């Protein structure tokens, strides 16, 4: 069964995603996803997944999520279109009568930010403990290794 879909989504804050997807008779989803920001400095990372839907309206399968990031219009690439494809199991492809698309914000995990945040929380905990105990050592204290 062949099916296709076109979805244009506004994700808020000047950020958009558009996906065109087709499931062909060979069980291949061929797609193009456009990700864009119309804000000057506010980029974002968005994700897309295509869902396979049967004649009863039930979701019977889905693609893996693709993530695409863009910058704001004043500081980099604010508009990009990426082609992608995925093979679908024939038992799902044969029962698919329509496709649906999910677009969503999918922020990047920034390890550096997580580490700095964790260290900051630890230091904050230590300082709170110093405050709780009172400053009896002239502002010096030791942290066990």
- Convert the pLDDT of each residue in 67-102 to its tens digit: 999 999 999 999 999 999 999 999 999 999 999 999
Predicted confidence (pLDDT) at residue 144 exceeds the cutoff of 70 = no
C-alpha 45/C-alpha 81 separation (Å) is 13
Predicted confidence (pLDDT) at residue 134 exceeds the cutoff of 80 = no
Predicted confidence (pLDDT) at residue 114 exceeds the cutoff of 70 = no
Predicted confidence (pLDDT) at residue 22 exceeds the cutoff of 60 = yes
Map out the domains of the chain with their CATH numbers: 3-105 (2.60.40)
The whole-chain average pLDDT of the chain stands at: 86
Helix/strand/coil percentages in the chain, nearest 5: 20, 45, 35
pLDDT for the residue numbered 42: 87
C-alpha 145/C-alpha 143 separation (Å) is 6
CA geometry: angle 79, 83, 104, nearest 5 deg = 60
Residue found by looking up tokens 């061929």 in the block: 30
Close Cβ partners of 4 (under 8 Å, ≥ 6 residues apart):
20, 21, 22, 23, 99
Residue of 107 and 59 predicted with greater confidence: 59
pTM of the model: 0.74
- Convert the pLDDT of each residue in 31-62 to its tens digit: 999 999 999 998 999 999 999 999 999 999 99
């Amino acid at each position: 069964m062949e099916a296709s879909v076109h979805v244009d989504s506004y994700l808020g804050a000047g950020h958009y995603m558009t996906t065109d997807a087709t499931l062909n008779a060979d069980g291949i989803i061929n797609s193009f996803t456009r990700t864009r920001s119309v804000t000057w400095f506010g980029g974002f990372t968005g994700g897309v997944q295509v869902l396979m839907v049967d004649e009863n309206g039930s979701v019977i399968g889905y693609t893996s999520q693709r993530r695409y990031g863009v910058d704001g219009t004043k500081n980099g690439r604010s508009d990009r279109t990426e082609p992608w494809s995925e093979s679908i199991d024939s038992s799902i492809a044969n029962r698919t009568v329509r496709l649906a698309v999910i677009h969503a914000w999918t922020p990047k995990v920034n390890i550096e930010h997580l580490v700095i945040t964790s260290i900051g929380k630890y230091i904050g905990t230590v300082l709170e403990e110093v405050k709780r105990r009172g400053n009896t050592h002239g502002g010096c204290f030791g942290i066990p290794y």
